[in-house]
Amino acid sequence: MASILLGIDIGGTSTVAIAMNGDGGVIGEGGAGAANPHTVALSDVTAELHAAVTATLTGIDAGDVVAGVIGMAGAAAASRPEVAAAISEVWPRLGMACPVEIVGDAVIAYAAGSAHPEGRVLIAGTGAIAARITDWQVGRTVDGLGWLLGDEGSGFWLGRAAIRHTVDAMAAGRPAGPLGAVIAQHFGTDDFEQIVAECYRMPPAEIAGFAETVCGLADAGDRTAARLAREAADLLAASLSKLDGPADSAVVLAGGLLAGPTPVRAALLERLAAGPHGPVSVAADPAVGAAWLAGLRAGCWPSAGIDEVHRRVVGATPVA
C-alpha cells in the first residue's frame, strides 16, 4: 500500500490541501473556500474541507492516506465537541481511516521552514504574530492581537502608516511626496478629510494592501517608504525578541511581508544579524509544511539527516 500524506492549510479566505507521497513528492493539490470555524458556519467548514480534499485526492485511493495535519488560526476552536465531531465525520465520508491532527497555523508555517521541533516563527502578512514552537505545538506568542489592538509591523500597520503619513502632510499643507501621491491617486482626491472618511469604510485587509505600495516605493528609493519599512521591521524584531527560550534557536519567517525579498525582510535580517540567532529561513507553502509534519507523525522521514530531508521535501529557503 502506498503511504500518502495529507496537509491542509485553512486560511481566513481559502482552504489549500496537498497530497504527498512517502518520498516527499507532491502528487495532488486542491482548494476550496474558507473553512475556519471562527468565521464560517459549521456546515461550511465540513463542506469546504470535503471539497478541498476531494479535489486533492483525485486519482488517489483515499484509503492510502496514512496521516493528515490541518493548520488553522484559532485551532482551539476545533477542540469544541461539536466542531471536532463534525470535522471527524468528513474523513470516513472520503474513505480515509487515518488520524488527522489539527494544529495552529503558526505550527505549519514553522514546519514549512524548519525541521527542528523547537524554534520560533515570525508571521507578517495582513496581521503579525511571533510564536515559540515547542515539540511542534504553539508555546508562547507575542502580538497576533488583530488590527485594533496589535499586529505591529504587519501589512495593515504598514498600509495605515502610509495613509497616516499622507493625511498628516495634507493637513499641515506639506508635500506628501511620492508615497502621498500614490495614496491620493488611489482615493481620487487630495482632500485629507475625504481620505480619512473613506478609510473608515475600508476593511482592514484593504488597508493592508497599501503595504505593497510602500515596499515598491522603498525599493525605488523613496525615503519615506524606506523609513516606514524599517519601522515595521523594528516592530517585528521587537515581537520576536520578547519570546522566551534560547535566542539562538531556529527562526522561520512567513507571511506576505517576509516571504519575498521585501525591504521589510531586508531590514529585519539586519536587525537579526546584530544579535545572537539560530538559522533563519523563509517558509515554503504552509500546506506543504503540514504534509511534512504529517509524514513526521507517520514516521516517514529518517531521523538521520533530517535537515537535508526537510530541504528536499519542503524547499524552505535559508536566508541567514
**Where exactly are the structural domains of the chain?**
4-113+284-318, 115-282
* Alpha carbons 29 and 207: distance in angstroms, whole number: 31
Q: In Å, how far are 8, 74, 105, 106, 189 from 71, measured between CA atoms? A: 6, 9, 4, 8, 42
Backbone dihedral angles phi then psi of residue 253, each to the nearest 5 degrees:
-105, 135
* Digit-coded pLDDT (tens) for 27-40: 999 999 988 888 88
Distances 86 to 46, 53, 186, 193, 319 between C-alpha atoms, Å: 7, 15, 44, 48, 41
What pLDDT is recorded for position 239? Answer: 97
Q: Is 167 left (phi over 0), alpha (psi -120 to 50) or beta?
A: alpha
Q: Which CATH code, of 3.60.110.10, 3.30.450.150, 3.30.420.40, 3.40.50.300, is assigned to 4-113+284-318?
A: 3.30.420.40
What pLDDT, in 10s, does the model give residues 48-105?
999 999 999 999 999 999 999 999 887 777 778 888 888 999 999 999 999 999 999 9
The CATH code of the domain at 115-282 is 3.30.420.40
Torsion sign over Cα 120, 124, 125, 129:
positive
Query: Parallel, antiparallel, or unpaired: how do β-strands 100-104 and 65-72 relate?
Result: parallel
Query: Residue 92 belongs to what H/E stretch?
Result: helix 90-94
What is the C-alpha separation between 86 and 70, in angstroms, rounded? 14
In angstroms, rounded to a whole number, what is the distance separating the alpha carbons of residues 195 and 201?
10
Q: Which of 66-70, 157-161, 316-320 has the lowest mean pLDDT?
A: 316-320
75 DSSP 8-state letter: G
Q: Which of 62-76, 154-168, 187-201 has the lowest mean pLDDT?
A: 62-76
What was the pLDDT predicted at 80?
85
Query: What is the pLDDT at residue 265?
Result: 98
* pLDDT category of residue 270 using cuts at 50, 70 and 90: very high
Burial (CB < 10 A; 0-12, 13-18, 19+), residue 58, is exposed
Contact indicator for 186, 157 with CB cutoff of 8 Å: no
pTM of the model: 0.92
The alpha carbon torsion through 269, 10, 28, 62 (nearest 10 deg) reads 140
Distance between CA 225 and CA 215 in Å, rounded? 7
Report the distance separating Cα 264 and Cα 162, nearest Å.
Answer: 14
CA end-to-end span of the chain: 40
- Supply the mean pLDDT for the chain: 94
Is 1 a residue whose pLDDT tops 60? no
The pLDDT of residue 76 is 77
